Amino acid sequence: MAQLSDDCFVPGGDMMTVAAAQKALRQRISTAVETETVALRAAGGKTLAEDVTASLNVPAHDNSAVDGYAVYFDDLDASQETRLPLTGRVAAGHPLDRAAATGEAIRIFTGAPMPSGDGAPGPDTVLMQEDCSEDGDYVIIQPGIKRGANRRFAGEDIRKGEEILSTGVRLQPQTIGLAASVGRQTLRVYKPLRIAVFSTGDEVREPGEALPAGAIYDSNRFTLMAALARLGCQATDLGILPDRLETIQTAIGEAALTHDLLLTSGGVSLGDEDHVKTAVNAQGSLDFWKLAIKPGRPVALGRIETSNGATPIAGLPGNPVAVMVTFLMIARPLILLLSGCRDIDPIRYRVQSGFEYKKKKNRREFVRARIKSDDNGVPIAQMHGRGGAGVLSSLVGADGLVDLPEDSTHLDVGGMVDFLPFAEVMT
């Protein structure tokens, strides 16, 4: 369970920038989950809970980078071709069974260990087979090769004792491979964050049910559940809670006992029929972070006190596009920090704008966009779909969001902008 201070979600002012909100989360939120040891093949997508130090050099020995011939460089004639006897053969996993002498050439293959010398360093240079020719039991080598060519040294990739992975890294295919390269069979990781997701409102219906007048189908809950799955979370669908205080209070109180975070969209405001705020305050506290962001509204962040500790709760706006933007900017960093992840900043890419746009100052705006390339292959961001925080269809087909900073008021066609791909923040 998260160790949350009493004031961890107290806002820092009337209007918060996205950067300030994310900084506050970094400063106030700590890991909420325990660790477990898993097999390497099961560690992908999880967050590392230990520092990994190499127990050996990689590669473990000097080896050949190509198929060719291992020789002593000092045996080569710099002005004309050199003719050396072929006296041995070395393949990967099969080292030469003797010391290599000067004046000879050893047939060697990619990854094979460089032969040792007799009480001295062995061959130090490898000639590519394409640059040589064989004549019976001899190899003919043309001049021009450099000393040490095509030779890889022990520890060239990783040195024994070097820290190769740090706590808080989300494990990707390449990091799994790196752990395997130093012989690790298991890794200690953080357990998946347990998140309870629910919606509230008498007007909200499950897809497939009859839709009476004034009712809407619940789309946000399904959007959030899918996003949480991509982040490796263990999400529980609590369904739709009716607009009844007692029901909501009981549901969130019980969920807080068995989950690390509660997540909702809509239904958290100051209206007479919005009971989530009252239900949370009865068991903890709830604060509203007024973000200088569009699309978006105040994000509700709070804590439920239980016998096990404090469980955070995040209430996102109800409009579908606003819920997506605030999820990416606020809920995703919160989830990663609670999950033990240290790097919560997605990569942004600088691209050209293919559209003109006006905005208010002191407010950060996110514009749905698709990326297309011009005739020169330069990526251009084109505005996608109809505007509005409730236009869910505008997210479908968009590649991501153009991020317009607070101090800008006008964007011209051809201007450079930051682009945040959905692929970057949904994995």
Residue 298: pLDDT over 90: no
If asked whether residues 353 and 312 sit together in one domain, one would say: no
Residue 110 CB partners (closer than 8 Å, separation 6+): 64, 65, 66, 67, 92
Q: What is the pLDDT of residue 310?
A: 92
Bigger pLDDT: 136 or 427? 136
Residue 314: how many CA atoms within 13 Å on its side-chain side? 23
What average pLDDT does the segment 274-291 reach? Answer: 87
If asked whether residues 245 and 121 sit together in one domain, one would say: no
If asked whether residues 140 and 208 sit together in one domain, one would say: no
Residue 350: how many CA atoms within 13 Å on its side-chain side? 3
Which of 125, 152, 179 lies at the terminal end of a domain, its last residue? 152
Structure token digits, residue 276: 């989530």
Give the helix/strand (H/E) hosting 84: strand 82-90
359: domain CATH number?
2.40.340.10
Bigger pLDDT: 279 or 72? 72
Instruction: Tell me the whole-structure pTM to 2 decimals.
Output: 0.88
Q: What is the pLDDT of residue 1?
A: 58
Domain count, the chain: 4
Let me know if residue 344 belongs to a domain.
no
Q: What is the pLDDT of residue 423?
A: 87
If asked whether residues 105 and 213 sit together in one domain, one would say: no
Q: What is the pLDDT of residue 425?
A: 79
If asked whether residues 86 and 137 sit together in one domain, one would say: yes
Bigger pLDDT: 14 or 39? 39
Let me know if residue 2 belongs to a domain.
no
If asked whether residues 80 and 206 sit together in one domain, one would say: no
Q: Which domain holds residue 406?
A: 349-421
